[in-house]
Amino acid sequence: MPGDARCFPETGFCISGRIREYWEQNGGLPVFGYPKTPQREEVIEDRRLQVQWFERNRLELHPNNARPYDVLLGRLGADRLEQQRRDWTQFPKVDGDANCLNFAQTGQSICGEILAMWRANGLELDGRPGKTVDENLALFGLPLSPPQRERLSDGREYTVQWFERARFELHPENAPPYNVLLGLLGNEILDR
């Protein structure tokens, strides 16, 4: 066990080294969740990489890339939709109003509470306070769907919006800021 390991009795797994540093600097538990596996080698897009799975994402080590791109996130939103045999390009396209952020690349918009959560989080790329659109995109990716009602693994229906690397879920039963949560895509993909 590396000397800088941080272990979680909730899952019995630890994080260390660059993955721990990245996890702690870019949102920690609310954004990534608890570790679900040890760091291990996997083949991702025909490349052997060291990865570690978390409840909400997969962190991938890319040692040939300069920081901060030496750790990249899995495209778990897109991967989970593919696993469900759902083609995100077939989702209805939505042009939001002036209070929304619109993305021509996918024909989707981010609005309201989901936009507020999206803007509040992002990877730290420029060393300046606050999050830029590029930093938000680096963490969550582009929106792939409009907000839509879906039944999730707990059997309940929620309004969700899919992104390349996440699924945002509206939980009106929770007080802010916990009224918008990130889906447990790491769990769902690992447990399939």
Model pLDDT, residue 2: 65
pLDDT confidence band for 1 (50 / 70 / 90): low
Task: List, for residues 38-66, the tens digit of each pLDDT value.
Answer: 999 999 989 999 999 999 999 999 999 99
Residue (of 102, 104, 109) closest to 162 by Cα position: 109
Mean pLDDT confidence for 141-169: 96
Model pLDDT, residue 3: 78
Tell me what the pLDDT averaged over the chain comes to.
Answer: 94
Residue (of 46, 48, 71) closest to 60 by Cα position: 71
Q: 10 Å Cβ neighbour count for 1?
A: 7
pLDDT at 30 over 70: yes
Cα dihedral across residues 126, 109, 57, 78: positive or negative: negative
Model pLDDT, residue 57: 95
**Measured distance CA(66)–CA(72) in Å, rounded:** 11
Residue 126 CA, distance from chain mean position = 20
Backbone conformation region of residue 88, classed left if phi is above 0, alpha if psi is from -120 to 50, else beta: alpha
Model pLDDT, residue 148: 97
Task: List, for residues 77-119, the tens digit of each pLDDT value.
Answer: 999 999 999 999 999 998 878 899 999 999 999 999 999 999 9
pTM: 0.93
pLDDT at 192 over 80: no
| For the chain, percent of residues with pLDDT exceeding 90 | 84
pLDDT confidence band for 127 (50 / 70 / 90): confident
Model pLDDT, residue 95: 80
* Residue where the block lists tokens 């890319």: 62
Return all residues near 154 (Cβ < 8 A) that are at least 6 apart. Answer: none
What is the number of helices (H) and of strands (E) in the chain? 6, 12
CB-based burial, 66-79: b 16+ in 10 Å, e otherwise: eebeebbbbbbbbb
Model pLDDT, residue 94: 86
Model pLDDT, residue 22: 94
Beta bridge partners of 40: 51
- Identify whether the C-beta of residue 42 lies closer than 8 Å to the C-beta of residue 25: no
pLDDT at 124 over 90: no
Residue (of 8, 86, 10) closest to 20 by Cα position: 8
